[in-house]
Amino acid sequence: MRKSFSPFRAIPRVRQKMNKIELSYIAGFLDGDGCIMLQLVSRKDYRLGYEIRPSIVFYQKDKNKNFLLSLKDKLKEGYIRDRKDGMTQYTIVGKTPVYNILSKLLPFLKLKEEHAKLTLSVLRQLPDNGRLMDAATLYRLSKEVDKFLYLNYSKKEKTPFKR
């Protein structure tokens, strides 16, 4: 007996393993039209006033939004946002989802390999409850976050620390 299809599921979908071809395609897409970031973000609800925020972002023109929707469906994380400049971005934020995705994509990354390695290293050192991070750990990991200034191509990046 065949079950009928329902667009609304009472039970969340089980994550399916992606094969090497899918992973290598996504890694290539991230290399070309994506970004891996670690940011030091001001947060009043954190003990020391800062959060280390990891994220992965994919970009496409609005006309290719369906591609990002299918990628989101495959990765099962993040959110999609339409920007005012005709671009759509798919963003994945957070220690666990970013770590899990980058761990799978790392063997296939070329241009963003160093970004992924640095991000994974910082995420392994990040306390489970970042709100309670001690000052020495925040300082040490902030120096690692600063390394992204040299890895990324942005002309807008600023650092609060003098070199």
Q: How far apart are CA 10 and CA 146, in angstroms?
A: 43
Write the pLDDT tens digit of every residue in 63-102: 999 999 999 999 999 999 999 999 999 999 999 999 999 9
Per-residue pLDDT at 153: 61
**154 in a domain, yes or no?**
no
Q: Choosing from 32, 62, 82, 134, which is the catalytic residue? A: 32
pLDDT band at 154 (very low <50, low <70, confident <90, very high): low
Q: Where are the alpha helices (DSSP H) in the chain?
A: 20-33, 65-75, 95-105, 113-125, 135-146, 148-151
**110 in a domain, yes or no?**
yes
**119 in a domain, yes or no?**
yes
Question: 113 Cβ partners below 8 Å, 6+ apart?
Answer: 106
pLDDT band at 157 (very low <50, low <70, confident <90, very high): low
Our count of domains for the chain comes to: 1
**149 in a domain, yes or no?**
no
Edge-to-edge order in the sheet of strand 34-42: 34-42, 50-61, 87-93, 79-82
- The CATH number of residue 61's host domain is 3.10.28.10
Per-residue pLDDT at 87: 95
Which residues constitute the domain of residue 82?
20-142
**11 in a domain, yes or no?**
no
**6 in a domain, yes or no?**
no
**3 in a domain, yes or no?**
no
Q: Are 54 and 117 a contacting pair, CB within 8 Å?
A: no
CA 148, 154, 155, 158 torsion: positive or negative?
A: negative
Active site (annotated) includes residue 32? yes
Q: Choosing from 31, 33, 94, 146, which is the catalytic residue? A: 33
pLDDT band at 128 (very low <50, low <70, confident <90, very high): confident
Q: How far apart are CA 153 and CA 91, in angstroms?
A: 19
**84 in a domain, yes or no?**
yes
Write the pLDDT tens digit of every residue in 40-51: 888 888 777 788
pLDDT at 17 over 50: yes
Angstrom CA distances, 132 to 7, 107, 137, stand at 41, 33, 10
Write the pLDDT tens digit of every residue in 98-124: 999 999 999 999 999 999 999 999 999
Q: 25-43: b or e for each residue (b if 16 or more CB lie within 10 Å)? A: ebbbbbbebbbbbbebeee
Question: 51 Cβ partners below 8 Å, 6+ apart?
Answer: 40, 41, 43, 130, 131
Tokens 């990040």 map to which residue?
126
